[in-house]
Amino acid sequence: MSGVGEDARKVVMFQAVAGVLAAFFLSHALAQDDAVVVTATRFPDAKRDLPVGVTLITADDIQKSASSNLPEILAQFGLVNIRDSTGSPNSQVDLRGFGITGDQNTLILVDGIRVSDNELSSAQLNAIPLESIERIEIVRGGGAVLYGGGATGGTINIITRRMKPGETRGYGVARAGGYGTRELRAGYRSMEDRIGVALDVSNENTEGYRHNNEFRQTNVAGLLEARGEQARAYLRVALGWQDAHLPGALTEAQIAADPRQRGANIGAIGRDDSTFTLGGDGKSGRHDWAADLSYRRKDAPAQFPGFSVDTQVNQLSLLPRGKLRFDAGGREHEVTVGADIEQLDLNSRSNFGLRTGEQTNQAVYALANFWPADRTRLVLGARLQHTDMSLTPDSASHNLSAYELALRQRLAGGWSAWGKLATSFRLATFDEICFAACASPMLEPQTARSGELGVEYEARGTRLRAVAYEIQLKNEIYFSPLVFDNINLSPTRRRGLEFEAAGRATSALELRAAFALQEATFRSGTYGGVDVAGNDVPLVPEMIATAGASWTFDANRRFNLNTRYVGAQRYDNDQANTFARTMPAYALVDVKLEQKAGRLSFALEVRNLFDKNYYSYGIQTSATSFSAYPQAERAAYLSVAYRLD
CB 169 within 8 A of CB 194: no
What integer pLDDT is reported at residue 10 of this predicted model? 46
Query: Whole-angstrom Cα distance, residue 75 to residue 95?
Result: 10
Q: How many CA atoms lie within 13 A of 587 on its CB side?
A: 9
CB 425 within 8 A of CB 398: no
Helix (H) / strand (E) containing 22: helix 4-27
Mean pLDDT across the stretch 381-405?
A: 93
Using 50, 70 and 90 to split pLDDT, how confident is the model at 437? low
What integer pLDDT is reported at residue 624 of this predicted model? 93
- pLDDT of residue 375 exceeding 50, the answer is yes
42 Cβ partners below 8 Å, 6+ apart? 112, 146, 290, 321, 323, 336, 338, 367
Residues pairing with 368 in the sheet:
335, 380
- pLDDT of residue 62 exceeding 90, the answer is yes
Cβ density class 228-263: b for 16+ within 10 Å, e for less: eeeebebebebbbbbbbbbbbbbeeebbeeebbebb
User: What is the CATH number assigned to the segment(s) 4-643?
Assistant: 2.40.170.20
- pLDDT of residue 470 exceeding 80, the answer is yes
Mean pLDDT across the stretch 66-72?
A: 90
What integer pLDDT is reported at residue 438 of this predicted model? 65
Q: Percentage of the chain surpassing pLDDT 90? A: 73
What integer pLDDT is reported at residue 68 of this predicted model? 87
Residues pairing with 373 in the sheet:
376
What integer pLDDT is reported at residue 270 of this predicted model? 93
228 Cβ partners below 8 Å, 6+ apart? 194, 282
Using 50, 70 and 90 to split pLDDT, how confident is the model at 482? confident
What integer pLDDT is reported at residue 479 of this predicted model? 86
Mean pLDDT across the stretch 518-525?
A: 95
Mean pLDDT across the stretch 351-359?
A: 86
DSSP helix/strand/coil, 152:
coil
Structure pTM? Answer: 0.92
What integer pLDDT is reported at residue 395 of this predicted model? 87
Structure-derived torsion over alpha carbons of residues 547, 617, 433, 489, reported in degrees to the nearest 10: -80
For the stretch 2-44, pLDDT in tens is 444 444 444 444 444 444 444 444 444 333 456 788 888 888 8
| Whether the bond into 247 is cis, omega within 30 of 0 | no
What integer pLDDT is reported at residue 12 of this predicted model? 46
Q: What distances in angstroms separate CA 331 from CA 46, 70, 161, 206, 325, one per listed residue? A: 17, 42, 33, 57, 10
Residues pairing with 589 in the sheet:
563
- pLDDT of residue 484 exceeding 90, the answer is no
Domain boundary assignment for the chain: 4-643
CA 130 to chain centre: 15
What integer pLDDT is reported at residue 486 of this predicted model? 87
Q: 203, exposed or middle or buried, with CB in 10 Å at 0-12, 13-18, 19+?
A: middle
330 Cβ partners below 8 Å, 6+ apart? none
Query: Whole-angstrom Cα distance, residue 135 to residue 139?
Result: 13
Query: Whole-angstrom Cα distance, residue 349 to residue 359?
Result: 18
| Whether the bond into 481 is cis, omega within 30 of 0 | no
Using 50, 70 and 90 to split pLDDT, how confident is the model at 350? confident
Higher pLDDT, 551 or 47: 551
289 Cβ partners below 8 Å, 6+ apart? 281, 282, 283, 320, 321, 322, 323
Amino acid at 169: R
Query: Whole-angstrom Cα distance, residue 333 to residue 344?
Result: 36
Arithmetic mean of pLDDT over the chain = 90
